[in-house]
Structure 1
Amino acid sequence: MNNLIVNKNGNVLRKHNAMTGFPAWTSFIDELFGEEFANVKTSNFNKGISTPKVNIKESEEAYTLDMAVPGFNKSDFVIDIEDETLSISMEVTKEDEKTEENYSRKEYGYASFKRSFSLPETVEQEKIEATYKDGILSVSIPKKEEAKPKPARKIVVG
């Protein structure tokens, strides 16, 4: 008799124990945490930070890209433009070693990410600027003059 079933998320689970009516332990954990637990298992959990989220705002003058990446230095970030693509990346390796009389401790840390964005032809690539303050990397991408909205004008009928 087959003890496996597939749940709505496509995960293979054990069937409930016919004797007790309770699900098998692994099935119970999978159903309890559901999809959220699966996402944690498949994320970059032990490989540094996951890809940071980005907010992009548009004003009449520019686009502003804000990325929450707390705990780093502004020198940790690399921002490049190549072939109409803006790339933001970061890679940090940290080693902490402490030696006392009776013990020695060594810890390693590693964090990295890379995000790329296609730039429209209507931006001034040469005038893009970036700042890092209070854990927020902010990139200002100014628009070309022809891309900025023009005020309405009246035409007098002659």
Structure 2
Amino acid sequence: MKRERNGESLAPKSFFTDFFSDVDRFFENDLFRMPAQIGRQMMRNMPATNIRESERDFTIEVAAPGMAKDDFNIDIDEGMLTISSQKEEDTTREEENFTRREYNYSSFSRSFRLPESVNAEEIKARYEEGVLKINVPKREEVNAGNRKRINIE
């Protein structure tokens, strides 16, 4: 039996064609893509970060518009600088026939291993125009340019 659709000849379907298309649909299910989707979602919530190095210091810039300086925590523990934020919003709007309550929760945490050349006691941070800027100065003996050229024998 020959079938046609829009003037094109269609081969009869077999059991194997149906079986393999069902298997394909099974593996296309969101369950199997979930770990990748979670990773992408987490990266979307992670603010963009730039790190610049000069002779005297490192500058870390974290793009975080819409936040306040009190929303951030910056900690140093055993040479690890951690920038984190947790922000919760709860808004309630009452009108004549209904009450609307919305919750918003966002958080992130980024950690950076500090090189031994930094002066952790002098780290300073400021938040302005949606950007958290952290200045991580290097120790003076590193700034002095104690470079040594190694000759190759």
The two structures share one fold, judged by TM-score above 0.5: yes
- For residue 85 of structure 1, the aligned residue among 80, 84, 92 is 80
Gaps of at least 5 residues in structure 1 are: 14-25, 153-158
Gaps of at least 5 residues in structure 2 are: 1-15, 148-153
**Structure of larger gyration radius:** 2
2:57 paired with 1:42: no
- For residue 126 of structure 1, the aligned residue among 121, 126, 129 is 121
Quote the RMSD (CA, aligned, Å): 2.8
Counterpart mapping for 1:73-112 below 5 A? 73-112=68-107
What is the rounded CA distance, in whole Å, between the counterparts of 1:146 and 1:111 in structure 2? Answer: 41
What is the rounded CA distance, in whole Å, between the counterparts of 1:121 and 1:131 in structure 2? Answer: 23
What is the rounded CA distance, in whole Å, between the counterparts of 2:86 and 2:143 in structure 1? Answer: 36
Shift of 1:100: 1.3
Q: TM-score, normalised by structure 1?
A: 0.69
Residue by residue over 1:47-94, the C-alpha shift from the partner in whole angstroms, topping out at 9 and shown as x without a partner, is 8x6122211000111000001011010000000001000000000110
What is the rounded CA distance, in whole Å, between the counterparts of 1:44 and 1:90 in structure 2? Answer: 19
Shift of 1:150: 2.5
Partner of residue 12, structure 1: 27
Question: Which portions of structure 1, spanning 4 or more consecutive aligned residues, are displaced by more than 3 angstroms?
Answer: none
Counting matched residue pairs gives 124
Counterpart mapping for 1:41-80 below 5 A? 41-43=37-39, 45=41, 50-80=45-75
